[in-house]
Amino acid sequence: MAHIPGTGHPTPKRSLAKTVSWRTIGTLDTIIITRLVTGSWSAGAAVGVTELFTKMFLYYLHERGWSWSDWGLEDVEPIDPSSIPVAPPA
């Protein structure tokens, strides 16, 4: 399926921002779970820092892969800019 103009496919910059925000949440979760399982904050930090980079890289690739696809996106009718009413100046 071809890209539909006006549907706003994600840019690499958006994918990177989503990657960083999601990994922040995921890494904190990993550190806390590792601490609960091992009783060690050091182990939690070691596992958290390691997976921070590996999972960030994998998520970014996953996000970019999905951005190439129109699967699951609905068609929208393009808006004619001349049909949008303009309010008079106040």
Give whichever of 8-22, 47-61, 74-88 has the largest mean pLDDT.
Answer: 47-61
Query: So where are the chain's domains?
Result: 12-69
- Of all residues in the chain, the percent with pLDDT exceeding 70 is 87
Q: Which among 31, 19, 34, 20 has a CA at the least distance from the CA of 64?
A: 19
Residue type, 67: S
Residue with tokens 């989503």: 18
* Reported confidence tier of residue 3, pLDDT bands at 50, 70, 90: low
For the segment 32-75, what is each residue's pLDDT rounded down to a tens digit?
999 999 999 999 999 999 998 898 888 889 888 888 887 777 77
Q: Which of 23, 30, 29 is nearest to 57 (CA)?
A: 23
Q: How far apart are CA 44 and CA 27, in angstroms?
A: 9
| Cα–Cα–Cα angle for 56, 61, 65, rounded to 5 degrees | 145
